[in-house]
Amino acid sequence: MRPGPARGIRVGVIPMGEETRLAAKVIAAHVEGFMHLEAMVLDPLPRPDFALDPQRLQYDAGCVIEDLESRPPNRCDKVVAVTAVDLFVPVFSHVFGEARLGGRAALVSLHRLGEAEEGRRPPPARVLERAAKVALHELGHLFSLTHCSDPGCLMHFTGDVAGLDATALLFCRYCREFLAADGCGQRSEAGLV
């Protein structure tokens, strides 16, 4: 029997565009299954065209986060939005996701998660697994976890899909303990938060 949600913390997952609905459902299932937090898929929002940078032809992740944080909480303590647009922050050419440490809203982009491997597109299941890993990583930031030095931990920074694929779908012992102490998750039999 799986432990119930920790301290009633509720995470909303928001699809931004029709093409992200399935990813939003997968992310919500991973939030419940791995972090043992209540998760729900919220009503979709339109694509964040307001955040398009005409010089870069990419979308400013910080602008989207600000917009998400300005919205009413929708009965959720934290929200993770999923988009298909290419995201950037000023110091990187692209990002898979973004969140403010201790903030309320995180963002995941599917755009580069489907990058070709050895000349072939990855199977949809791999893209969804990558999206779940990015979402759990960004959610960790929302619960004040910083980047981890353990390359096997979900909180380890990676800037490419090969690194993301090499990362296990779990938090290291120290990150699990931090989350458990903060009341954001509970340990399961498998040692996941």
Which amino acids are annotated catalytic?
Answer: 138
Supply the pLDDT for residue 183: 62
Q: Does 167 reside within a domain?
A: yes
3-class DSSP state of 14: strand
Residue 2: predicted pLDDT: 37
Q: What's 97's domain CATH number? A: 3.40.390.10
pLDDT < 70 positions in the chain = 1-7, 117, 182-193
What pLDDT digit, counting tens, does each position of 95-109 carry?
999 999 999 999 999
Three-class SS of residue 19? helix
State residue 32's pLDDT score: 95
CB 149 within 8 A of CB 126: no
For residue 93, being part of any structural domain is answered with yes
Report the SS3 class of residue 8: helix
Residue 25: which domain range?
A: 8-181
Q: Count of domains in the chain?
A: 1
Give a yes or no: residue 75 inside a domain: yes
Residue 60 lies in a domain: yes
Q: What angle do CA 58, 21, 123 make, to 5 degrees?
A: 80
Question: Quick check: is 59 in a domain?
Answer: yes
Answer whether residue 2 is part of any domain.
no
- What pLDDT, on the 0 to 100 scale, is given for residue 118? 73
Indicate yes or no: pTM above 0.85. yes
Rounded-to-integer distance, Cα 22 and Cα 163, Å:
23
- Beta pairing class for 87-89 and 38-41: unpaired
* Residue 187 within a domain: no
